[in-house]
Amino acid sequence: MFSTFANPHRFLALSKWLMPLFAVLGAIIVATGWAWAFFFVPEELYQGATAKIMYIHVPAAMVSLAAYASMAVCSLLFLTLKHSIADVAAKSAAPVAAALSFICLVTGSLWGRPTWGTYWVWDARLTSMLFQLFLILGYMALRSAFQREQDAARAGAILCLVGAVNLPIIKFSVEWWNTLHQPAGFITLGGSSYAPEFYWPLWYNLIGIGLVFGALMMAAMRAEIFNRQYEAKLARMNRSAA
Amino acid sequence: MMRNGVAAIFRRELSLAWAGGSGLFLPAAFFAGTIFLAPLGIGPEPRLLAASAPGLIFVALCLASLTTLERIFQADLEVGALDHHRLSGLSMELATLAKVAAHWLVSGLPIALLTPVAAVMMRAETVTLQSILPVFLGSITIFLWGGIGASLTAGLRRSGPLVALLILPLFVPVVIFGAEELNHVLTGQGFGAGLGLLAANSLAALAISPFAMSLALKLE
Amino acid sequence: MMRNGVAAIFRRELSLAWAGGSGLFLPAAFFAGTIFLAPLGIGPEPRLLAASAPGLIFVALCLASLTTLERIFQADLEVGALDHHRLSGLSMELATLAKVAAHWLVSGLPIALLTPVAAVMMRAETVTLQSILPVFLGSITIFLWGGIGASLTAGLRRSGPLVALLILPLFVPVVIFGAEELNHVLTGQGFGAGLGLLAANSLAALAISPFAMSLALKLE
Amino acid sequence: MYFIATHRELQFVLGRGGKIRVSENHSSFVPILTIDSLTAVRGYNLLFQGLNFKLQSGQFAALRGPNGTGKTTLLRMIAGFIEAETGTIEKVEEYRERGPFYLGHDHGLRASETPLSHLTDWADIHYSPRSDIPDILERVGLTLRQHVPAYSLSAGQKKRVALARALITPRLLWLLDEPASALDTAGQALLCELMKEHLDEGGAILAAIHDDLELTPDLVLDLGAFA
Amino acid sequence: MYFIATHRELQFVLGRGGKIRVSENHSSFVPILTIDSLTAVRGYNLLFQGLNFKLQSGQFAALRGPNGTGKTTLLRMIAGFIEAETGTIEKVEEYRERGPFYLGHDHGLRASETPLSHLTDWADIHYSPRSDIPDILERVGLTLRQHVPAYSLSAGQKKRVALARALITPRLLWLLDEPASALDTAGQALLCELMKEHLDEGGAILAAIHDDLELTPDLVLDLGAFA
Ligand code: HEM
Ligand SMILES: Nc1ncnc2c1ncn2[C@@H]1O[C@H](COP(=O)(O)OP(=O)(O)OP(=O)(O)O)[C@@H](O)[C@H]1O
Ligand SMILES: Nc1ncnc2c1ncn2[C@@H]1O[C@H](COP(=O)(O)OP(=O)(O)OP(=O)(O)O)[C@@H](O)[C@H]1O
Ligand SMILES: [Mg+2]
Ligand SMILES: [Mg+2]
């Protein structure tokens, strides 16, 4: 399975139809999912209509965390196996992950205003998400500062992995903080504590955002591969011209 | 045998740090300067100052470490000295560790030792020598993570605050646990649960950082 | 006529600051990073955070300015570009001013514009766009004083935090008046008496700094 | 020839005055540089003392001497970067009160500058037209590398950028510190050509060199008597 | 002579393989460096392709070619700093797994290091005795300047410190990038003397040079065919 993706040509062939499929499916699911959430799901007992922000906020949060995790896995694969497609994947996931983190932060603070009376509190969840956004921005800045793609790849992978080592520590610091943020209840080891009328639409939206993420990431990967091929071609032309 | 050459790198870095204008008292002075500026901005109210002391001490430590660390590898790289280290046959892991250790000794340790003074200036309740330990452990971690940032940006041959941006997020756990622990000590509660975490964090940094640094410096 | 050449120096510095990895968002990110670290250390208590916000914002501004400024003159000196500026027939006063202005535009201004965001994160009571003005005025002064420190250390051919040490005392009035003024704004009292002092301070810095910088750079 | 070497009485064992040899193939018009009993001290060392010489329009003076005898120091004194211990330096008035053209050991390029951006800024700073830059880049052989940042340029390419600066701004006096180093054969030929043109246009050149150039100097100023 | 120049079939107009001329006054024993069909690419430029040559104990190879043809790149590839695009580099095993001796364009001295402190640290780092240092400083003519920090040293003095490093640690392969630049006549003579001694002791030298040295090379590797 991995070797399929390690080959750029096979990846390009596969993603050629997978990418639009994900995009279309994702768009449909997100659109219907929001419609479902906004018009058909009953209002939450205490928070009323504001809780509907959950259907953007939670999927964005979860997918962005998964996106960072996938960047870390790809970085590890790149450093150990030297498959450049793993690097392309990590690089392409970064802006999408940053955007999702940003959406999570913005929706979270907008949600925080009515429920907690403030846009921002220094709580472990919120802080760790901000931390992740900084890390991804740093990753992108570091990469863009290198002239050679190989160097950028190596440096970026190191940073991404080092950052990943810190993420669990941040996550566990929840226990030392008095936290305002809702504890995990949606997907936990002991099953979900959510009522079914909130549980299923959330799942549906999660899948939708996940598909959109997949489509965007594949599009970015394709662009990156094409760009690298183009640059290689340009290099060859340069050689023969000089 | 290996020890010898690495020790020489350590000594060289130490004397350069000394001669290069970042001698013993300077990062400490930078730290002291921050601790001196902050109350001016925050205002003289003792309770407010005491409450923000642990956090400020750790933030000042992070920022003071950045001012020195940024240049460790870059200075060597610019004049071509890094090339020679790479050809010396010494393990780059140990060589980079020796460099960071020397800088920590010159810049990090004095800051840790200054903690009680800073705490007094920030009007902390109970100032004991115990307050040194959290900052001591924290400074080790901060210098090791900082070394990674410095090595990553050294290869860029570009200066600027990129290094700061990259490593500030890595400082987060140290700042959280360290400030909490320091708060425990400064409010007369002795050591808390965070000390073990701080130490574990230092050990993790010690295990990871040399490899990350030597890998980063091999970028062309 | 003079304007032309000085404008070219300004433009050069601007594009170098951009290309050199200290692009628009980086010093701002350093500032944001400090504002992000501090509450982690101080703890999430809103009143405490709000009370220390103005001070912290100004200290973070000072420290963010140091990270960029330190390298302005040193980079030119190391490669010999400063020699050429001295022979160009332009007034060194205006040339150094142009350099500092370019760096302020890239690093100082974004920080001032970020103030409302920082204030929200620090749980300030009343966040308005007015809060930008004290930091705006303060950042001008801080960059001009910082330029003096940078030129002095460049002339000494030494890196390290010496520059920080030299200029921190100069930052004192800015931090005091600036934080007080910002506190006024953030507690909903509008502008206070300090604004005029801040502006006067900026003007004084503008009058003194170019001469001090050009003199310092002439040290051989 | 216009030149007086004053061998002063010296307190120091080292100080014996600059030894100056003169060859006679020059065409002298205007005195561009006049140096009178110049003394240089660095740290605790007297480098030279009682140095006198005159450089005229159209003349090329070679500055020679072993490592560490003060060639760079002398050039930087003339440029105005270092104050002389005693003695006077008279320079011709350059256009718009600029200093002479100085090419030092350092190439003067910041890591992220490209040849094109550097020369464009240089032209702007010195009120020269930008329109000549493409021709100048062509002349120094950097047209194909004009967009490459300095940290990717080879040593010789950086030196060529430094040379190109001289073509953008006309100045009467050129001070060159080992101008041939890092240049290949073609680059050295180009250097001599540029120097020749500059002399023909009435300029003057003082260049510290270790190896002979293709261009024969009108005077040789040997600081090596101190070695 | 031991050398094979393979002119590969190439897709690109440029790639014609390194042109190598060989002169015949060598005494070959051990192969110290073997380079096989080496290709170097920097940025978008192919610098050289299909480069083959062998350097034996006692041989001095001169690396020539116009500015920007890849001399520094080749030396840094052999030192192990840059990865080759394709091809292999085989080096002799140096004592204690060290790399070869590399003298680059940069002098490798930090501003506040003195010649003495630098060489002392160098000796320690490489497990060599410190006791030779006074003699070595004497040899490169820096005894009187041994306590002066690098920012006060002249260009040639810094180069001499760089040369002195070679005397402290015995290595079979020397890679020298324009070793003569900044050196005065005596310094260049010293350089040739040191190189000669190194060859006599069975070492090998690959040096990028623009101007001829006093020492005649055994092989000349001309990368200029690509210019
Ligand atoms: C800027 C502010 C906020 C940020 C950065 C943030 C961040 C996050 C993150 C990272 C998650 C995913 C956790 C995981 O997958 O383990 C999450 C989940 C969630 N957030 Fe927020 N959040 C913010 C504000 C809020 C607010 C104001 C509320 C509602 C009062 C809220 C309610 C939730 C809920 C219900 C979940 C799902 C938790 C679960 O059951 O697993 N969040 N948030
Ligand atoms: N990092 C890089 N990225 C892109 N191009 C590079 C890089 N480094 C070097 N080059 C280019 O590669 C070429 C070879 O450079 P190199 O330094 O090896 O030349 P050289 O033969 O040593 O020249 P010189 O005689 O001037 O020292 C040059 O044209 C240079 O511009
Ligand atoms: N700032 C300084 N303080 C003390 N001594 C100095 C200083 N700068 C230079 N020197 C010494 O002055 C002497 C002259 O240096 P200078 O650079 O002028 O020599 P040079 O003739 O250019 O030599 P080279 O041929 O090596 O370039 C040297 O011996 C140097 O060590
Ligand atoms: Mg010199
Ligand atoms: Mg070269």
Q: pLDDT digits over A66-78, tens only?
A: 899 999 999 999 9
Ranked by mean pLDDT, the top range of B133-142, C62-71, E75-84 is B133-142
Q: Count of CB atoms within 10 A of residue D81's CB?
A: 18
* β-pair partners for A48: A44
Position D162 scores a pLDDT of 95
Which of B16, B37, B170 best probes binding to C when mutated, by most C CB atoms within 10 angstroms? B37
The protein residue whose alpha carbon is closest to atom 7 in ligand 3 is E152
Task: Tell me which DSSP letter residue E217 carries.
Answer: P
Q: Closest Cα of chain D to C81: distance in Å?
A: 4
C44/A177 CB distance under 8 A:
yes
Number of domains in chain B: 1
D152/A147 CB distance under 8 A:
yes
d(CA E213, CA E191): 9
Closest to A61 measured CA to CA, from A3, A13, A132: A132
- Report H helices in B43-161: 46-79, 81-87, 92-103, 109-121, 132-154
Task: Give me the mean pLDDT over the C82-110 stretch.
Answer: 87
Q: Closest Cα of chain B to D226: distance in Å?
A: 30
State pLDDT tens for residues D141-199.
Answer: 999 899 988 888 999 999 999 999 999 988 899 999 999 999 999 999 999 999 999 99
Position A238 scores a pLDDT of 64
Interface contacts A/C by beta carbons within 8 Å: 32
Q: Count of CB atoms within 10 A of residue A4's CB?
A: 10
On the question of pLDDT at E11 being above 60, the answer is: no
Q: Count of CB atoms within 10 A of residue A40's CB?
A: 9
User: pLDDT category, C50, cuts 50, 70, 90?
Assistant: confident
Q: Closest Cα of chain C to A218: distance in Å?
A: 27
Q: Which residue in the set A147, A231, A238 is minimally distant from E45, CB to CB?
A: A238
The chain-wide mean pLDDT, for chain C, equals 82
Token pair belonging to B85: 């280290």
Closest to E155 measured CA to CA, from E182, E195, E127: E182
Give the 3-state secondary structure of residue A20: helix
The helix (run of H) or strand (run of E) holding residue A30 is helix A8-35
On the question of pLDDT at E129 being above 60, the answer is: yes
The protein residue whose alpha carbon is closest to atom 27 in ligand 3 is E155
Residue in chain E lying closest to D70 (CA): E154
Q: Closest Cα of chain A to E105: distance in Å?
A: 22
Beta carbons within 8 Å of B12's beta carbon, 6+ residues apart: E117, E121, E124, E125
D96/C20 CB distance under 8 A:
no
On the question of pLDDT at C21 being above 80, the answer is: no
Task: Give me the mean pLDDT over the C95-114 stretch.
Answer: 90
Dihedral sign for Cα B134, B135, B139, B140, please: negative
Position E22 scores a pLDDT of 35
The protein residue whose alpha carbon is closest to atom 28 in ligand 2 is E68
On the question of pLDDT at B174 being above 60, the answer is: yes
E41/A236 CB distance under 8 A:
no
User: pLDDT category, E217, cuts 50, 70, 90?
Assistant: very high
Task: Give me the mean pLDDT over the A216-231 stretch.
Answer: 87
E134–chain B Cβ distance below 8 A for any pair:
no
Task: Tell me which DSSP letter residue A116 carries.
Answer: H
Q: Closest Cα of chain B to D149: distance in Å?
A: 11
- D173-177 and D204-208 beta bridge pairing: parallel
Residue in chain E lying closest to A235 (CA): E44
Q: Which residue in the set E13, E15, E44 is minimally distant from A235, CB to CB?
A: E44
The helix (run of H) or strand (run of E) holding residue D38 is strand D31-42
Name residue, tokens 């290309």: C19
Position B164 scores a pLDDT of 63
Sheet containing D31-42: give its strands across: D45-56, D31-42, D86-91
C8/D121 CB distance under 8 A:
yes
On the question of pLDDT at A240 being above 70, the answer is: no
Token pair belonging to A208: 């939708």
d(CA E39, CA E18): 10
C44/A123 CB distance under 8 A:
yes
C91–chain B Cβ distance below 8 A for any pair:
no
On the question of pLDDT at B213 being above 60, the answer is: yes
**Residues of E whose CB is below 8 A from A238:** 44-45
Q: Which residue in the set A142, A148, A173 is minimally distant from B166, CB to CB?
A: A142
Range of the domain at C49: 2-218
Token pair belonging to C23: 């692009």
On the question of pLDDT at C152 being above 50, the answer is: yes
Task: Give me the mean pLDDT over the B101-126 stretch.
Answer: 88
d(CA E107, CA E161): 8
Ramachandran assignment for E141, one of left (phi > 0), alpha (psi -120 to 50 degrees), beta (any other): left
Among all bound ligands, the one having the nearest atom to the CA of D73 is: 3
Residue D139 backbone phi and psi in degrees, to 5: -60, -40
Query: At CA B206, angle to CA B204 and CA B212, rounded to 5?
Result: 95
Query: At CA A148, angle to CA A144 and CA A150, rounded to 5?
Result: 100
On the question of pLDDT at E90 being above 90, the answer is: no
The protein residue whose alpha carbon is closest to atom 8 in ligand 2 is D152
Q: Does D75 sit in the ligand 3 pocket, CB within 6 Å?
A: no
Token pair belonging to E105: 């364009």
D174–chain C Cβ distance below 8 A for any pair:
no
Ranked by mean pLDDT, the top range of A163-177, D211-225, E104-118, E175-189 is E175-189
Q: How many secondary structure helices (H) and strands (E) does chain A include? A: 7, 0
Q: Does E157 sit in the ligand 3 pocket, CB within 6 Å?
A: yes
C79–chain E Cβ distance below 8 A for any pair:
no
d(CA B166, CA A136): 9
Task: Tell me which DSSP letter residue C122 carries.
Answer: T
- Residues 142-171 of chain B with CB under 8 A from chain E are none
Q: Give the range among B8-12, B125-129, D71-75 with minimum mean pLDDT.
A: B125-129
Q: One-letter amino acid identity for D74? A: L
On the question of pLDDT at A232 being above 80, the answer is: no
Question: What value of ipTM does the predicted structure carry?
Answer: 0.82
User: pLDDT category, A231, cuts 50, 70, 90?
Assistant: confident
On the question of pLDDT at A189 being above 50, the answer is: yes
d(CA C199, CA E147): 49
Residue E222 backbone phi and psi in degrees, to 5: -105, 110
Residue E98 backbone phi and psi in degrees, to 5: -80, 165
The helix (run of H) or strand (run of E) holding residue A126 is helix A124-145
Q: Give the range among A48-62, A185-199, B132-146 with minimum mean pLDDT.
A: A185-199
3-state helix, strand, coil in chain D (%, to 5): 30, 25, 45
**Residues of A whose CB is below 8 A from B203:** none
User: pLDDT category, B107, cuts 50, 70, 90?
Assistant: confident
Ordered DSSP codes for B30-50: HHHHHHHHHHHHH-S-HHHHH
Cα distances from E101 to residues D219, E30, E62, E183, in angstroms, run 40, 18, 16, 19
Token pair belonging to E115: 């010649």
The protein residue whose alpha carbon is closest to atom 30 in ligand 3 is E153
Task: Give me the mean pLDDT over the B15-37 stretch.
Answer: 71
Ligand 2 center–CA E69 separation, angstroms: 7
The predicted model scores a pTM of 0.83
Token pair belonging to A163: 């950052």
B220/A159 CB distance under 8 A:
no
Q: Count of CB atoms within 10 A of residue E10's CB?
A: 15
Q: Which residues of A touch B (CB under 8 A)?
A: 127, 131, 134-135, 137-138, 141-142, 145-146, 148, 151, 154-155, 158-159, 162-163, 165-166, 169-170, 173, 176
| C-alpha D67: how far from chain center | 17
Strands of C84-199 (E only): list them.
Answer: none
E99–chain B Cβ distance below 8 A for any pair:
yes
Residue B185 backbone phi and psi in degrees, to 5: -65, -45
